[in-house]
Amino acid sequence: MASTSTIATQCLGYTPIPVALLSADEVPAVDLYRKDSETGRLRLYRAANLPMQPEDLQRLIESETNWLYATDIDHDEMQRFIRRKLDVLIRDETLSLRDRFGKLNQVVEGLLTSAFQTNDTDEVMRSAGNISSLAVRLLCRDDMAAGDLISLLHHDYLTVTHSLNVSYMMVALARDLRLVGNDELTAVATAGILHDIGKLSVSERILTKNDRLQRREQRVAQKHPALGFRRLGKRTDVSYAQLMVVYQHHERTNGKGYPVSAVGDEIHPWARLCSVVNVFESLISNRPYRARYSLNEALSMMDQHLSDGLDQEMYQCWKQSIRKK
């Protein structure tokens, strides 16, 4: 066990534990840390041998503390705890589908953020696989329509939020198109989470710039598909289809995409699927340099010119699915 010093300097080296998954009768028997709102440092909140009272959890909720942290020495134990609690959440029929998906999305967004911050591809892959299998179980319900899904998503432009949204949309569209069997939807969801993994190798200054990128900066940003390909290309736990999503999601059927101006069927079907929802998600999310467009505005812009080079069958199917709500 790491030292129980009351201050830790940063969140790297710590596993986030969602407060929403804690209950007074079941708290992990590990030291738990809380982030100081002023300094951002982690302070010991509860030692492993101390019980958690219901009023303690209530105070955390009232103070809008959504996360506690355990040292990475306890990482595997915490991952098992979180997975088990999320399984219970997904099966909880006393909660509405909206409430379950909302809680799931809040938790997995934080977990994936933590994995991305480590810049550890192994950790990102583990998190992506776990998150995908959980999300698909909710997304494949008959009462989860694409229009409903859009209203449940967060719309702040961060690489993690964007990747999760694209992942969920890819699953919804793949189901509507019957592009793959249900047994492959988890792999599709994982591909969506990984599609921008190359951005881990791009400067945060470029990714979060408040103005439109200059030409030189655009060229740097446009390297992310190739950077992602290099990061994942030799892994045995990434399929060819998933790798093509990472490499080709900015290609266009008319040859006007990047990184190699592939055309038509040279672009893998999963990558064409990702391209459609990637453009749509980018429009309906806040960007550093502009506010998000409404759903109708986004579809109108895509109809006018932004769908050029996208797979038209996939785009028309997506548009119909969205307009059902």
Does residue 27 share a domain with residue 139? no
Q: Active-site residue 234, yes or no?
A: no
The distance of Cα 118 from the centroid of its chain, to the nearest Å, equals: 15
Does residue 302 share a domain with residue 165? yes
Average pLDDT over the chain reads 89
Mean pLDDT, residues 167-193: 96
Does residue 141 share a domain with residue 16? no
pTM of the model: 0.87
Note down the domain range covering 66. Answer: 1-73
Task: Assess whether pLDDT exceeds 90 at residue 45.
Answer: yes
Which of 55, 73, 91 delimits the end of a domain? 73
Does residue 179 share a domain with residue 35? no
Domains of the chain: total: 2
Does residue 296 share a domain with residue 195? yes
Mean pLDDT, residues 168-193: 96
Does residue 301 share a domain with residue 155? yes
Task: Assess whether pLDDT exceeds 80 at residue 143.
Answer: no
Does residue 261 share a domain with residue 146? yes
In a domain, 232, yes or no: yes
Does residue 220 share a domain with residue 315? yes
> In this predicted structure, what is the pLDDT of residue 325?
59
Closest listed residue to residue 276, CA positions, set 232, 324, 246, 309: 309
**Rounded (10°) angle between helices 240-248 and 224-232:** 160
Mean pLDDT, residues 138-147: 81
Does residue 277 share a domain with residue 178? yes
Does residue 241 share a domain with residue 161? yes
Task: Assess whether pLDDT exceeds 50 at residue 5.
Answer: no
Q: Summarize pLDDT for 302-319 with one digit per residue, the tens.
A: 999 999 999 999 999 999
In a domain, 212, yes or no: yes
Does residue 53 share a domain with residue 150? no
Mean pLDDT, residues 155-159: 76
Does residue 310 share a domain with residue 171? yes
In a domain, 175, yes or no: yes
Mean pLDDT, residues 208-226: 92
In a domain, 90, yes or no: no
Q: Which of 35, 103, 199, 319 is catalytic?
A: 199
Q: What is the CATH number of the domain that holds 253?
A: 1.10.3210.10
Which residue is it, tokens 């319900």? Answer: 141
Q: Summarize pLDDT for 234-252 with one digit per residue, the tens.
A: 999 999 999 999 999 999 9
In a domain, 91, yes or no: no
The answer to whether the beta carbons of residues 138 and 108 sit under 8 Å apart is no
**Token pair of 111 as six digits:** 């977990």
